[in-house]
Chains A and B, each alone.
Chain A
Amino acid sequence: MIHVNVYEKWWIGLTTLMLVVFGTAVGVSAFMGGIQVPIPEARIDPRTVAADPKFKDGSLQMLAPGKYVAYVRAQASPWKFFPEKIEVPLNSTVTFYVTSGDVQHGFRIDGTNINVMILPGQVSKMTAKFDKAGEFPFVCHEYCGVGHQNMFGKVIVK
């Protein structure tokens, strides 16, 4: 074995302790607290999403009072989200299905835990509850061409 100085033993011990504490906190919040990262939802043919009835102009459906699903399509050139405005009543839970028919994009909604990559060929799914009234911008956070900075929309909660 190798000789390890006592202070260094403490340092190693504290590092290990810190990592164990952080790792546990992350694991518990994710798998018991439900603060989860996106997981595989569905595949889709990117060549036809622009014609898909749900994704063409995007859409919002009410499943039950206060429970919605939103279909969102990201597009480069011209750079736009479809739809650009999503209006839901206060305290709604909205599940977003997002995809792209061209290049990669990103999707992040202010004030929520929704932050996901949009990949052509994949449908990204994330859910958030909107329990504050107001306007919450969603923005594209992956470079998608020269109009990338103009790509945004908003969720309006009333």
Chain B
Amino acid sequence: MLAAEKKLASWHIFVALAALALGASFGPLQALEHMGINVYPALQSVGLQSYYQGLTLHGILNALVWTTFFITGFLGYATAKSLNRPLANITVSWVGFWLMVVGLVMAAVPLLLNLATVLYTFYPPMQAPWYFYLGLTLVVVGSWVSGVGMYMTYWAWRKDNPKETTPLIALASLITMVLWQICTLGVAAEILALILPWSLGLVQGIDPQLARTFFWFTGHPLVYFWLLPAYISWYGMIPEQAGGKLFSEPLARLSFWLFLLLSTPLGFHHQYVDPGVPEGWKFLHAVLTYAVFFPSMLTAFNVIASMEIGGKARGGKGLVGWIFHLPWNEPSFVTQVLAMILFAFGGAGGLINASYNVNLVIHNTAWVPGHFHLTVGTAVTLSFMGILYWWLPHLTGNKLWSSKMALWQAWIWFVGMGIFSNGMHRLGLDGAPRRTMLGVAMENYGNETWTIPLIMVGVGGQILLISGILFFTNMVMTAYFSKEKVVVEMPVAKPYHAGATPVWLNNWQPWLAGTIVLILIAYGPMLFQLISQAQFTSPGFVVWK
């Protein structure tokens, strides 16, 4: 079944894992630097010019490449599987994939040559070569094309099944892709209208405030593009893996619709301390950010209740007894549950970041990377690893090389990230800036309260390295050296209460219309003002040689 789709998915996974392998390998080195062990001078002989070149690779390969390739592959495959039919036109998806690969190569070359050490946010007026930006654009455009492949499949299914409710996994995958296509219009505008003409030398200057605003139009919903595939697994698969049922299917659908509606019009929460945005707009986005906390709280309840059903069905009793009856020997399940636990802390931290003036305490401090290593670095990445523990055997027919190693990998990540992230959060509260060689900064302006958390970061980073090695060993061995064949199916959770889905939870028009109206309200006037008052006065700078 779906042999062609399996091949397509495998190629996405291959590129995604290659990116993660290289990208994540810089993490432990950065952590060592924080602890005062600077290996970067030694790395110059292999062509790595600075800590910041490594950090740029780390940010782009992990946060942009690993995620986008994995997710594009996963959403397409999950849609086909969930609608139980092949992709309507798989050539479209292959075109999308190869566009992404070409874009990746175009961006990777200047990164590796130290021509684009601009970090993954590439804030102007730092200026990389034009083909770096074009490459990033092609990665996004490629994923849009794959998205069109998904829509075609959905329309074909809809034609054959005019009355049926879209299955949850397919619906959620489509919503995630729509969200992505809407929100990436921001960064597309930033690159095509502002950065490309300027980096090509066609215009002399750029307006950094305007560019930042376009960037963060995409930058926040981006985190939901990362997170929602994990939610698809938590809602749509984990209940089954836990031996339970999805507690409330209608509320699961509602949360995905709410994410579509709410995740874009709140990008100013990344710009609370930008000089060029008035406080009223910032406060409006703060309120909307609180609103998007809501569907995540719905998710927490629903997913835990679904697991409780599983634990009880497996013989667990009482208020907490069911927890011990969950399948704690199942790597895919355990990995994702540990990801959820750390995500709870990430969510609490996120509420603090979102809180308008409270953000003054932690903005651009080490607290922020401490926070997002719990979210994208764990809730998302560790969940994707957990998904791969069934998905790779499913795609290849090869048995997972070592379940035991996978379980160790998950727990070691959990412990390592707990220590690392706690250290980072503390450093932030003590005023250590992010994106900084903190080992050097410690000598310059650090204080003794940093000493212990810097060691926690260093040690946590090395524990994470061990986990990473175990993970990649397992992937490579499963893909290429496995001897045992297995048939593993995609887990699909059944609803706890059978019953018809209300029409308003299966109907795109009101939600799409609401999304667009909300974006126009939350961004329209301010964006118009920023554009009409733009001053294209900043020439490009190269500050990393």
Binding site for B on A (CB under 8 A): 1-5, 7-8, 11-12, 15-16, 19, 22-23, 26-27, 29-30, 35-41, 43, 45-47, 76-77, 102-104, 106, 108, 110, 113-125, 137, 139-146, 148-150, 152, 154
Contact = CB atoms under 8 A, between A and B. Distances in A.
A148 B497 contact: no
Contacts of A137: 431, 445
Contacts of B52: 143, 145-146, 148
Interface in B197-228: 207-209, 212
Nearest to B55: A143
Contacts of B541: 76-77, 102-103, 145
A120 B434 contact: no
Interface in B52-73: 52, 55
B452 interface: no
Contact of B275 (A5, A77, A116): A116
Interface in B427-469: 431, 433-438, 440-441, 444-445
9 contacts: A2-B248, A11-B301, A15-B294, A37-B356, A37-B360, A117-B275, A119-B209, A143-B119, A146-B544
Interface in B249-269: 250-251, 254
B505 interface: yes
Contacts of B276: 40, 119, 122
B274 interface: yes
Given A23-B287, A120-B125, A40 B248 contact: no
A37 B441 CA distance: 26
Interface string B528-545: 000000010111010111
Contacts of A125: 275
Count class of interface residues, chain B: 35 or more
A11 to B, nearest CB: 5
Nearest to B437: A149
| Residue with the greatest number of chain A CB neighbours at <10 A, chosen from B119, B305, B365, B541 | B541
| Residue with the greatest number of chain B CB neighbours at <10 A, chosen from A15, A38, A43, A149 | A149
Closest 8 A/B residue pairs (Cβ): A145-B543, A141-B433, A124-B275, A141-B364, A2-B250, A122-B275, A143-B435, A149-B437
B273 A117 contact: yes
Contact of A108 (B248, B278, B431, B441): B431
Given A119-B208, A121-B535, A38 B126 contact: no
B209 A139 contact: no
A115 B355 contact: no
Contact of B273 (A26, A115, A140, A143): A115
Nearest to B529: A40
A2 B502 contact: yes
Interface string B116-127: 010100010110
Interface string B350-365: 0100011111110111
